[in-house]
Amino acid sequence: MIIVTGAAGFIGSNLVKSLNLRGETDIIAVDNLENGKKFRNLVDCQIMDYIDKREFLQQVKNNEYFASNVRAIFHLGACSSTTEWDGHYIMQNNYEYSKILLNFCRNRRIPFIYASSASVYGSGHVFEEDLQYEAPLNMYGYSKFQFDQNVRRCLGQNSSQIVGFRYFNVYGPREQHKGTMASVAFHCHNQMLDKGEVNLFEGYDGYGNGEQRRDFIYVQDAVDVNLWFLDNPDKSGIFNVGTGRSQTFNDVANSVLDWHKGGKLNYIDFPDHLKGCYQSFTEANISALRAVGYDKPFKTVEQGVQTYLDWLKQTNYDPATL
């Protein structure tokens, strides 16, 4: 079987669905459904069992899990809020939990594929998997950064697969439960449905209105990277998962406007609480990912937003259900 933590979340549920399309249904879905609306992400997925994240962790600590039947663990569960400053909560939830699962997998030679984040790079302009370029700006980024350091100490000593993915700005289907942490494309689409116009932040940090740049990656492209490593268990390491090219927030908003065939773009004040802890520019260096053998292309913002909004239309998505 395959275990997916964060299975009802954004990337996790897309991964479960993609595994299903490959004929994989012996999947243990681990998550926290205190936000019960996340169940919708798994309704069209086939799983063998669902386990609460706390119960699962206890089973792992007690060595209750029948590890001989586990093909791989995808660890995607975490508190992903970049505005959460409760350091104790973040480190327990993101760092300690991850360490326990990592050790569980190492001791049993189970492939361990986990979610890191591009937030480890902070406000730097070099996005390469190297300690000298890593300086997180918030507790979320620090929790991912510190776990990556733990993994680096293990990589040369381990005979089983360990892979960390530093996701850049992922967007696409099944993110509606994320609220304010959902993608710019999602929020712009909802604004268009509501008022026929979209809002972006005005200029900040040396960038013009809407000209802050991020590496936006469509969620299926990110999932495809996961599946490739599942199929190549001899490959280990920490890798950036982005397109390798930055695009502006204006590109995202205009792609939404183009899909809607009209609308207005406005600029609003940059929030004070984000100043000093906001990444105005990201662009993944994907040389390591390419060097290890992954050669599939990645969608541009224009391609990805078109595909995403088509999906929302086809699934009769209703923002009133959020």
Catalytic residue positions?
140, 178
pLDDT at 275: 85
Alpha-carbon span 187 to 185, nearest angstrom: 6
Instruction: Return the H-helix or E-strand segment holding 55.
Output: helix 53-61
Read off the pLDDT band of 35 (50, 70, 90). confident
Contacts of 206 by beta carbon, 8 Å cutoff, 6+ apart: 280
With vertex at residue 284, the alpha carbon angle to CA 282 and CA 285, rounded to the nearest 5 degrees, is 135
User: Is CATH 3.40.309.10 what the domain over 172-214+245-284+300-321 is classified as, yes or no?
Assistant: no
Read off the pLDDT band of 221 (50, 70, 90). very high
Alpha-carbon span 259 to 85, nearest angstrom: 37
Residue spans per domain, the chain: 2-169+216-241, 172-214+245-284+300-321
Fold match flag (2-169+216-241 vs 172-214+245-284+300-321): no
Read off the pLDDT band of 278 (50, 70, 90). confident
**Residue pLDDT, tens place only, 83-140:** 788 999 999 999 999 999 999 999 999 999 999 999 999 988 999 999 999 999 899 9
Task: Indicate the length of the chain as a whole number.
Answer: 322
pLDDT at 68: 67
Tell me: pLDDT of 67 over 70. no
Mean pLDDT of the chain: 94
pLDDT at 66: 62
What percent of the chain lies above the pLDDT cut of 90? 84
The CATH classification of domain 2-169+216-241, taken from the options 3.40.50.720, 3.40.50.10540, 1.10.1370.40, 3.20.20.70? 3.40.50.720
Reading the block at residue 46, the tokens are: 């086939």
